[in-house]
Structure 1
Amino acid sequence: MPAREVWRFDAIGTVWEIETDTALPDGVREDVRALVAAFDLAWSRFRADSAVSALAGGAASVPAPPDAGPMLDAFAALSAATGGAVNPLVGGSLESLGYDASYTLAGGDPRPAPDDWRSLLSWTDGMLSLTAPATIDVGALGKGRLVDRVLAVVSRHVDGDIVVDASGDLAVRGTPVRIGLEHPYDRRRAIGVWEVSDAALCASAVNRRAWVDAAGDGLHHVLDARTGLPVRAVAATWAVAPDAMRADAVATALFFDGGPEIAAEWGVSWVRMTTDGRLEWSPESKAELFA
């Protein structure tokens, strides 16, 4: 992409890059920062003043953030497709293994997420409510949702080509961009490239947000909510969709049975790599794979 300007900043625990043909005006940058800050204040389980932390601490209800409906509706579809493996109340499972607000990363006993989450969590009448304290984690699709919203803000003010890249979850408007698909076991290598235009590509891999517990066991952030344990069969996934939230959601779902089915239902193309090195892909995938 012939973009000439790159704005880099840190947000929600990762590095962002926004590429445009011309420099973003200060007002647009301020709008992006405000949007990201509001999203973080609503959904971060790593800060004590967030809405989800209030619910985890015992609050019955909080005003529903603007993204509650789209994201939790998508979670309901993911949960149904994967037999409950994807669940927005998996935050407690991650905390039990040490991926908590203090980043203790010490490991612990696996804790399955509540399998009746649909009866515990509601998002109606402008309120986000829990009937019992639990920790919401929207990592399965939240960053993709934020990428979409940031792209919308930038697009209102900027003509020409735009790339919004949130470290693995990105959206492209305009000129096609060739994106390398990073090998999950060697960041210096790619297993292929995927050309994306006016669409989003999201990836997930077990080498990201990974740690070793006190017993020396390797852990990572992609958990099966039914067991509270990290998945072991799939190493990395990539998904392309018209919007980043659905691409991000499918990239998560592809770690489980049912992932390819919801991808087909949503019109999302994909590639995944299993932990024994095999590559699988959807029939309509346009990725150029090297092996």
Structure 2
Amino acid sequence: MAHPGWTDFSFDGIGTRWVVSTPFPLSGVIRRRLLATVAGYDTAWSRFRPDSLIAGAARKPGRYVLPAGAAELGVLYTTLYRITGGAMTPLIGGSLEQLGYDANYSLRAGGPALPAPAWPEVLDWQGTVLTTRAPVVIDVGAAGKGQLAELLSAELCAAGVPEQFIDAGGDLLNAGSAPVDVGLEHPYDPSRAIGIVSLGTGALCASAANRRAWGDGLHHVLDGTTGAPVRTVVASWAMAPSAMVADALATALFFVEGSRLQEDFDVSWLTVYSDGHAEYSADFKGVLFP
């Protein structure tokens, strides 16, 4: 979505559509900086391109040095791996490829669901350095869009554009001073909304079983302990000061209750289950339609 009355700069990056809204048109210099930031992130983290920094880990074990943001990602994923009992893991890439969400977008399962490798057995993540003891397909997509949104926001602030609204394929970061009303997409009908939420300064990120879905009930939110798609939850939303955290927690809500996440994170949340009922935190600033 775009911010009402502002100017939009739209582009594609890391597999999604981005809309950066600002009170005035961005200069060519600023636009090029934003695009360079997106390209740099893709070069580091994409599991869909053979020349990315992380692609080497899928070919052979070794020591891989990644950009500074890797340290934040490592801490976040370590925490969520613990909280979810291994269900949410950066080692889910091989499981996704097994079910057809691979570099060629074959969208055809190559066999039964494949559990992700146990993190302590194959990966040591210390700051920006990843040391692997076996070939592993690393996928940080659960937090990547949010982290990239924050990097773009930082670029805008450095360029003197503190008022901004970033839409990363439905994951939203509002750095503006005014709240924005956001519709909550119906998990079974993208043309409808199940409610509305007021997003002040901060981030609102979502995860849904109908996004990146293919085949016979296959979708991209897999349980790392089984390698199979989650069936109990169909959609989730997380609001947090950090877009990276909100992005990751929207996925984590597929595995654990939001009240458990609130023990470790500053987050408000909404989860819609496959049986039709919804649960949400008392501080979730939204209204669900009857």
Asked if Structure 1 and Structure 2 have the same fold, meaning a TM-score greater than 0.5 normalized by the shorter chain, the answer is yes
Cα gap change, 1:79 to 1:258, in 2 (>3 Å)? farther
Residues 1:256 and 2:280 aligned together: no
CA–CA separation in structure 2 for the residues paired with 1:33 and 1:280: 38
SS of the residue 2:87 aligns to: coil
Residues 1:221 and 2:220 aligned together: yes
SS of the residue 1:165 aligns to: strand
Select between 138-147 and 123-132 the one with higher mean Cα deviation: 123-132
Cα gap change, 1:204 to 1:264, in 2 (>3 Å)? same
What letter corresponds to residue 229 of structure 1 in structure 2?
A: A
Q: Which residue of 2 aligns with 1:48?
A: 50
Q: How does 1:268-283 map to 2 (within 5 A)?
A: 268-283=267-282
- Unaligned ranges ≥5, structure 2: none
CA–CA separation in structure 1 for the residues paired with 2:199 and 2:37: 25
SS of the residue 2:101 aligns to: coil
SS of the residue 2:54 aligns to: helix
Contact 2:258 2:269 survives alignment (8 Å): no
Q: Which residue of 1 aligns with 2:100?
A: 98
SS of the residue 1:230 aligns to: coil
Q: Which residue of 1 aligns with 2:229?
A: 230
CA–CA separation in structure 1 for the residues paired with 2:10 and 2:74: 29
Cα gap change, 1:199 to 1:140, in 2 (>3 Å)? same
Q: How does 1:1-291 map to 2 (within 5 A)?
A: 1-107=3-109, 108-115=111-118, 117-124=119-126, 126-159=128-161, 161-173=163-175, 174-212=177-215, 217-291=216-290
CA–CA separation in structure 1 for the residues paired with 2:226 and 2:186: 27
Contact 2:70 2:127 survives alignment (8 Å): no
1:38 is displaced (CA, Å) by 0.8
1:160 is displaced (CA, Å) by 5.6
SS of the residue 1:48 aligns to: coil
Deviation string 1:170-219 (CA, Å, 9 cap, x unpaired) is 1001211111100010011111111111110000000000000xxxx210
1:71 is displaced (CA, Å) by 0.6
Cα gap change, 1:161 to 1:111, in 2 (>3 Å)? same
After TM superposition, the runs of 4+ consecutive aligned structure 1 residues lying more than 4 A away are: none
Select between 130-139 and 252-261 the one with higher mean Cα deviation: 252-261
Cα gap change, 1:154 to 1:120, in 2 (>3 Å)? same
Contact 1:169 1:203 survives alignment (8 Å): yes
Deviation string 1:131-171 (CA, Å, 9 cap, x unpaired) is 11100000111111111111111122244631011012110
CA–CA separation in structure 2 for the residues paired with 1:32 and 1:64: 19
Select between 224-233 and 67-76 the one with higher mean Cα deviation: 67-76
CA–CA separation in structure 1 for the residues paired with 2:97 and 2:210: 18
Cα gap change, 1:290 to 1:56, in 2 (>3 Å)? same
SS of the residue 1:77 aligns to: helix
1:114 is displaced (CA, Å) by 1.0
TM-score (norm 1): 0.94
CA–CA separation in structure 1 for the residues paired with 2:15 and 2:127: 31
CA–CA separation in structure 2 for the residues paired with 1:230 and 1:269: 24
Contact 2:172 2:203 survives alignment (8 Å): yes
SS of the residue 1:153 aligns to: helix
Aligned-pair identity in percent equals 47
1:64 is displaced (CA, Å) by 2.1
CA–CA separation in structure 2 for the residues paired with 1:6 and 1:249: 26
SS of the residue 1:245 aligns to: helix
* RMSD of aligned alpha carbons: 1.4
